[in-house]
Amino acid sequence: MDTEDHASLREAVAALGKRHGRTADTTQLWADAGKLGYLGVNLPEEHGGGGGGISELSIVLEELGAAGCPLLMLVVSPAICGTVIARFGTAAQKQHWLPALADGSRLMAFGITEPDAGSNSHRITTTARKDGDDWILTGRKVFISGVDLADATLIVGRTEDARTGRLKPCLFIVPRDAPGFTRRPIDMELTAAEKQFELTLDDVRLPADALVGDEDAGLLQLFAGLNPERIMTAAFAIGMGRYALAKAVEYARDRQVWDTPIGAHQAIAHPLAQAHIDLELARLMMQKAARLYDAGDDMGAGEAANMAKYAAGEACVKAVDQAVHTLGGNGLTREFGLASLITAARVARIAPVSREMILNYVSHQTLGLPKSY
């Protein structure tokens, strides 16, 4: 159940989404959401944010998605990058980045995925080495969203532990115009406002203060950003599923072929009811994950965030599929705007971590079963 404050936030964001509707140009929506304080609801008040948490930010993304205008960069800029900087950044990093991320005047991308690493963050090959006080970054990243719009990218690299010689993850802020930092757009079949890029870091020289947090914190800092990413991906999927379901329900109420609207027939009504139930259940798990994360329970949030992302991805795909099926041929027309969601819905099954890897996580971490890898 939403608190009174959450219900008010949900209503206000839904109204903003309704005003914009389904649009391919999200620039004005991003600016409006920033002006109204929605982009930074999870960031600290002393740095221009709303003082809330991922619970509030997930509401913003879900309601925009339900209105047909989800902002994918909400997953990245305030949720991942903003959270990591708020938790681990220096005073100067917080002062420079957080107010601007909150009001939308600056945008930050997040670079973790690599061509050969897949879902295995331990195989990341982007390395950072010390050169005097500076850092030198070398490596490649793929499927990085919104780099063309971002002022900087939070890059996950690996540094060598002086004691063990083993590589450990570290996070670096790389400005978009840093020499040696180049991007190439990836030609996607997916229709989305945000483009995907391959990044190359060719001996990118960064000052000491580009490092976020402690170079010895490793996975703690990384997962401080990855758990919100999973929760927000769930919100993205639930919003999309709700949008598709609403379109199908409206159509099934009005479309009449014989004596009654098609929605009166159980073959149409029951699958839509099931889609609604699945979306509601996924939302409950997402809310649980967000509450655990906001309460500082990183371990509990990790399990719940993975489950929420899995449940939401499945619910979204089924809702979109059933919505298209309900509309029949109309479900594939540009007029009704559902066909493009067939591809988009699958993103929540694949990214930022595949459903199979989530099942692995639950098998090993929750059920205690042995690993096969």
Residues 302, 237, single domain; the answer is yes
Residues 57, 130, single domain; the answer is no
Over range 32-48, report the average pLDDT.
97
Residues 195, 225, single domain; the answer is no
User: Where is average pLDDT lowest: 19-33, 44-58, 251-265, 288-302?
Assistant: 19-33
Residues 224, 353, single domain; the answer is yes
Q: Which domain holds residue 254?
A: 219-366
User: Where is average pLDDT lowest: 159-163, 210-214, 251-255?
Assistant: 159-163
Over range 82-95, report the average pLDDT.
96
229 is catalytic: yes
Over the stretch 165-175, which tens digit does the pLDDT of each residue have? 677 889 999 99
Domain boundary among 49, 80, 106: 106
pLDDT at 218: 67
Residue 312: which pLDDT band, with cuts at 50, 70 and 90? very high
Over range 229-236, report the average pLDDT.
98
Domain boundary among 212, 228, 252: 212
User: Where is average pLDDT lowest: 115-124, 145-154, 180-189?
Assistant: 115-124
Q: Is residue 373 part of a domain?
A: no
What is the count of structural domains for the chain? 3
Instruction: Tell which residue, 233, 246, 333, 321, has the closest CA to residue 21.
Output: 246
Over the stretch 52-82, which tens digit does the pLDDT of each residue have? 999 999 999 999 999 999 999 999 999 999 9
Domain boundary among 89, 106, 123: 106
Residues 224, 351, single domain; the answer is yes
pLDDT at 67: 97
In the set 56, 63, 229, 303, the catalytic residue is 229
Over the stretch 124-148, which tens digit does the pLDDT of each residue have? 899 999 999 999 999 999 999 999 9
Residue 268: which pLDDT band, with cuts at 50, 70 and 90? very high
pLDDT greater at residue 274 or residue 163: 274
Q: Is residue 255 part of a domain?
A: yes
Residues 13, 45, single domain; the answer is yes
Residues 97, 33, single domain; the answer is yes
Q: Is residue 371 part of a domain?
A: no
